[in-house]
């Protein structure tokens, strides 16, 4: 189904986790959603969760400029415009590796996906939003509580998430003349495959391994939808959504 009267969203990393939850939330709310991810099969599984909704699956590696260009070309060809980019695709990289042992290739892979990929998608969305009629749109970057405070042995992930905050601020400032609103959601301990190990135990700053509380990923999706559905005259610049008792505020 194609509905050119609905709002159009591009969701990266839509084949699993937070990206899937946000895509499903938007589809159920009547948005048309372009589902982006590296593999076609998980994208099809996401689309099947909301039968009959207006979705388009586009396999894409966000670290490849040609894939990103093809993604946004497909979105505009199918739906006519882009109203929202949820810049979500990301990777943690190898876990538990001390900085002195982290291979450069692993560092580069995290940077290419989390930071370069977010920039390429934001740039492509920005170009379409600036040119379309009516002009404007919204970009929501998926940061992390690691954009504020690192976990042990997470140098690549943490560095990219701190960099995303700068990307969000610069895009927000540069988008003002064109009606492009840019914000960031920083998430802590949403229950997904990526965080499945945390209830069993995660390394803490004091060297102990302790189980951590989790929250339903649906609560994240509802927050993103709230941010997305504001009028462009209003913007959630930064939102932090986390499991209430996770070891983050203060000393735990």
Known catalytic residues are 157
**Backbone angles phi and psi of 240, in degrees to 5:** -115, 120
For residue 217, is it left (φ>0), alpha (ψ between -120 and 50) or beta? alpha
Q: What is the greatest pairwise CA distance in the chain?
A: 55
CA geometry: angle 5, 6, 12, nearest 5 deg: 140
**Nearby residues of 140 by Cβ (< 8 Å), 6 or more positions away:** 84, 85, 86, 87, 182, 183, 184, 185, 224, 227, 228
Work out the number of other CB atoms within 10 angstroms of the CB of residue 52.
7
Tell whether the torsion through CA atoms of 205, 207, 208 and 209 is positive or negative. positive
Q: Are strands 180-188 and 202-203 parallel, antiparallel or unpaired?
A: unpaired
């Amino acid at each position: 189904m194609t509905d050119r009267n609905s709002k159009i969203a591009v969701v990266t990393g839509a084949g699993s986790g937070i990206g899937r939850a946000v895509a499903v939330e938007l589809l159920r709310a009547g948005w048309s959603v372009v589902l982006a991810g590296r593999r076609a099969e998980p994208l099809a599984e996401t689309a099947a969760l909301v039968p009959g909704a207006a979705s388009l699956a586009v396999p894409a590696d966000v670290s490849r400029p040609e894939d990103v260009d093809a993604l946004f070309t497909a979105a505009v060809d199918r739906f006519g415009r882009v109203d929202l980019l949820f810049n979500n695709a990301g990777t943690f990289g190898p876990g538990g590796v001390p900085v002195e042992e982290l291979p450069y290739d692993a560092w580069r892979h995290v940077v290419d996906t989390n930071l370069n990929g977010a920039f390429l998608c934001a740039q492509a969305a920005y170009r379409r939003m600036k040119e379309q009629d009516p002009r404007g749109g919204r970009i929501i970057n998926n940061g992390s509580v690691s954009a504020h405070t690192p976990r042990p042995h997470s140098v690549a992930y943490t560095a990219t998430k701190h960099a995303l905050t700068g990307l969000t601020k610069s895009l927000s400032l540069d988008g003002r003349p064109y009606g492009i609103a840019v914000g960031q959601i920083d998430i802590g301990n949403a229950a997904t495959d990526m965080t499945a190990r945390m209830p069993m135990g995660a390394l803490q700053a004091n060297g102990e391994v302790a189980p951590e509380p989790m929250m339903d990923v649906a609560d994240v999706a509802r927050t993103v939808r709230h941010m997305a559905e504001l009028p462009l005259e209003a913007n959630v610049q930064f939102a932090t959504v986390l499991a209430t008792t996770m070891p983050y505020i203060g000393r735990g």
